[in-house]
A and B are shown apart, each in its own frame.
Chain A
Amino acid sequence: MISITLQVKNIAKEFNRKKLFENISFDADAGSAIAVTGKNGSGKSTLVKILCGLLEPTRGTWVLTVEDKKIPHEEYYKNIGLVSPYLNLYDEFSGIENLDFIAKIRRLQNPSTIIESVLEDFGLFKHRKKEVKYYSSGMKQRLKYCAALLHKPEILFLDEPQSNLDSEGISVVRTYMKQQRERGILIFATNDEDDLSYADAVIKLNSLNIEK
């Protein structure tokens, strides 16, 4: 297992000077699974976006180190994968075209074997040539998993991991969550009790803006 650490210190985010959350601190290293929980609107997705390096927090710092090398924020995309309700794939392309584009732009070795194996795992292989606009919402969710897992990310972020999935889909996701833990860090935002029990640590966002 390679050494990966994520150190989060005192992260706070405000929108229009209204505090969403503050003082979020935790450390994670390879093998850990961290859950983020909180009511709707408490900023789970925002926190995930910040940790992905896609949104600047109002205060606070966070450092990702892979093999003792500090990764600059603008290069996080090389080390992370994200599944989120806010993320969409290209409607006008088929499943395999989408994954092909992602694999090429990430310059993966042997893209076709990797793509085929994830498609197989998520039960999308027979739908691979269908355009994404004809996919059901569950199939789209599965395809998002394929897209996030292609490059075997060091950190996998899952925002609402179970949304739109049937029991079969959930069990595949569980297998991958386990695999991710063996390989690196898993961070997921959820309110599902089963998922929460799976985590080593739970970060509770106590909706500062709702209480006021």
Chain B
Amino acid sequence: MKSMDCAETDAALVAYDRLVRRRVLVLAALGLACLAGFLVDITSGPSSLGVVRSLSGILMPDILSRAEHVMIWNLRLPVAAMAVLVGMALSLAGAELQTVLNNPLASPMTLGLSSAASFGAALAIVLGIGIPGVPSALIVTANAFLFAFGSVQMLQALARRSAGDRDTLILFGIGLLFTFNAGVALVQFLASADALQQFVFWGMGSLSRANWMSVAILGAVVVLMFPFSLRTAWQMTALRFGDDRALSFGVDVRRLRFFALLRISLLAATAVAFCGTIGFIGIVGPHIARMLIGEDHRFFLPASLLTGALVMTFASIASKSLMPGVVIPIGIVTSFVGLPVFFLLVMRRGTPR
């Protein structure tokens, strides 16, 4: 009996090691796919610049003509980097949110975050209302960020005054969503035709406004937040078993949820402020990651980061290639690119293996 137990234990340990190794490999493959996607993204676009010339222009900027230099270094690279970062930020935020709200349909947009951002942007674009002291070039971005970030903090404060559980958060979030949507509608109703058009374009979600400053800011937010996310990986996995069980393991669930929401609001608000509403990534990224790698958050969180970047990069490539000479706003494309992959994975999961 004893030796059988030992054999059983050894076999299970070997199987577990194999599982961990397989997950590391999946992460590495996702990373490589992201890198490849990023390079393709840089080399594609509505101009005659070839693949070889684009790539060598990145490695040796001196060989490029002035126009080519601007094309690669001021347009394509920041846009491609922004695609990767926005995908990472929204997907990581979605993954954490789905866990802390225990709801696979949650995304940063569920809590009214993008509606709040839209409202902030609408105030700036239509009524010219912004934060005093902010340069006029940044007033829309700053407003969008402030409202998006502020809405989640307001949600936290409201939830703390009541039961503070996840259902309260979702209910308050839905309340905020409708309130901000009404606010946006009101501002739109008051807007001039010009301002309205400008606002509608902002709301579509686009990478075309990306520059090195926005890339640096969003990059810094992702790089700063991700280690904190990873640090809570075990506690987040424990949360999948419900609040009561996590609490009985010794996890401070309220604290965990509070800081997770803080990270989520920073990541998503920064992304939305620079690029407008890009839905779907926050739901589809984590779902693909979950199907590929399971829910051990040590692997699930980095996988979500990478799947988000990957889907967003593909969307960026598609947005330039679908209609020759036109870059379709990426917010429109993400769904078209992400959905087939998503459906495929869901259907594969449904078939018995």
Say whether A associates with B. Answer: no
B residues neighboring A (CB under 8 Å):
none
Give A residues with C-beta under 8 Å from B: none
